[in-house]
Amino acid sequence: MNMHSACYQRFYNYVAISLGMTSFNYNATTATYKQRLWMRVLALVGNLCTVLSLPFIFRDAMERTSAIQWNPTMTYTNYLTYSVRTLVVLYTILKRGKIDLVNYEVLRKYRCLRETYLGQLPRVALIERRMNRLFYAKYINMSMLILLTAVIFLQIRGFEFTWSNLYLLLMVLQTTAILHLTIFNFFWFLWSICCSLKYVQWRIRNLLLEMSESVRTGKRWRLNMLAAEVQRILEAHWQLSELARLVTQNYRFLALALFFDEITSVVRQLYYGFIFTFDHRAELYFLVVGTVYFFAMVLDVYLNFLICDITVRAYYACVHQLDNIYALDSHCKALEETVS
């Protein structure tokens, strides 16, 4: 998990600064945020370019989609979808200072928790393998969506090279990257917390087995030793739940808006897919690109909801296992004090 944390933080910092999403650089070694003049200037230039380009991007998107015959419901859906995207980008830019501060606080507390307790737990291959697959799937899928956005834009423009088209393409990619990086950062925070909760769940399960064995064999002294470990795992579980609360509070509006955008985008893509396939008789190349983009969007929606679901399930699985430990408190005075 350390490798993913360091690599992703470096990637996110440099890309986010260039996109104007942040003017801070997080140093994973010293656990500090640094803000330099060139970062502030670059972020400010990126913000100005993005804000000034949003009306043109919105108009271009509506002009392109209005060229296709649709029903009135799809007209309102497109207006609503592009409006949500515009507001999300504006919110990300205007609130980037607050978002940065909360992110820093979460990273600081998570790093402290790993150094004091979680980092001492042995690595479990099954947990690492499953969670790594989830991380790579999200990372690769996000990269594909950004790349396919550029491909689809060039398809619609007919590969006509003009300075205005080039500038519009760069701005479309910039806003698209802001949207995907925002939800990916939310995903990464929950992924990190979920990994830790999985290890907490694994440790509680082992503790329960050890304590049950001690009760069965009458080794009360062993229960007294394990009570201190129960106290530490309770503290880790509580701190992880607090970190999850901070993350969801920091991203609650952005995540909700982006989840809505992704769901409506899947419906729109499916609708246009039928139009291009049966009404416009599009070429095979366009159909392949559109199909790949559609399934990439479906996978992205699935992964976003999946990380939320498994994080919640991991949290309550820990709670359920802790309840089983509480049932042993009558066999151990130290454990009874911990439970109370």
Residue 338 CA: distances (Å) to CA of 37, 52, 95, 222: 50, 58, 42, 15
Q: What is the per-residue pLDDT for 340?
A: 47
Cα(119)–Cα(171) distance, integer angstroms: 41
pLDDT surpasses 80 at 158: no
* 57 contacts: CB under 8 Å, gap ≥ 6: 86, 168, 171, 172, 175
Q: Which residue has the higher pLDDT, 300 or 121?
A: 300
Which positions ≥6 away from 118 have C-beta within 8 Å? 196, 199, 200, 236
Across 67-76, 185-194, 217-226, which has the greatest mean pLDDT?
185-194
pLDDT of residue 251: 92
The CA distance from 120 to 45, in Å, is 44
pLDDT per residue as tens digits for the range 136-145: 999 999 989 9
Q: Would you place residue 330 in the very low, low, confident or very high pLDDT band (cuts 50, 70, 90)?
A: low
What's the whole-number mean pLDDT along residues 144-150?
89
Over residues 77-124, the pLDDT tens digits come to 788 888 888 888 888 888 887 888 888 888 888 888 888 888 888 888
What's the rounded mean pLDDT across residues 238-246? Answer: 93
The residue among 201 and 32 whose pLDDT is bigger is 201
Structure tokens at 95: 């609130």
Whether 148 has a pLDDT exceeding 80, the answer reads: yes
Whether 1 and 192 have beta carbons less than 8 Å apart is answered as yes
CB 172 within 8 A of CB 57: yes
Q: 277: which DSSP letter? A: I
Euclidean distance between CA atoms 163 and 70, whole angstroms: 31
* Rounded Cα gap, residues 218 and 205, in angstroms: 20
Of 126, 123, 153, which is closest to residue 61 (Cα–Cα)? 153
Q: At what angle do helices 163-217 and 125-157 cross, to 10 degrees?
A: 170
Q: Are 196 and 307 in contact (CB under 8 A)?
A: no
In this model, does residue 240 exceed pLDDT 90?
Answer: yes
| Share in percent of the chain as helix, strand, coil (round to 5) | 85, 0, 10
